[in-house]
Amino acid sequence: MTTVTVSSKGQIVIPKKLREMLGLTTGNKLKVFQENKKIILVTEPEVKPSELFVSASPHAVDKAMKTSRKIDEEKIKGLLHDLGIK
């Protein structure tokens, strides 16, 4: 786990290793949530215009959504583990 310091302007620096793991670059947006005494940052996916429309069967869409959710959950669990959060 890494400790960060809040600046006088309320800013923190996300450690480089973590930014690289998440693919964060300048200008990326993060959603901020508060849970009990924890601050949770969640990356906001970049959507390209070509990704907005797809032609697929309902079965293919359902399968893709389940796979995507599983991958997201695994990434979140891994990140929380790396940060020492249960």
Specify whether 41 is located in the same domain as 53: no
Query: Residue 25: helix, strand or coil by DSSP?
Result: coil
- Are the CB atoms for 32 and 44 separated by under 8 Å? no
- In tens, the pLDDT along 58-67 reads 888 899 999 9
- In tens, the pLDDT along 17-71 reads 999 988 899 988 999 999 999 999 998 777 777 777 777 888 888 999 999 999 9
**Total structural domains in the chain?**
2
What does the pLDDT average to over 6-12? 96
- Residue 15's pLDDT is 94
Specify whether 4 is located in the same domain as 41: yes
Specify whether 52 is located in the same domain as 79: yes
Name the pLDDT band for 5 (thresholds 50, 70, 90): very high
Specify whether 19 is located in the same domain as 54: no
Cα distance between residue 37 and residue 68, in whole Å:
29
Give the global pTM: 0.50
- Residue 83's pLDDT is 87
Name the pLDDT band for 13 (thresholds 50, 70, 90): very high
Specify whether 36 is located in the same domain as 7: yes
Query: Which residue range forms the structural domain that includes residue 12?
Result: 1-45
Specify whether 41 is located in the same domain as 60: no
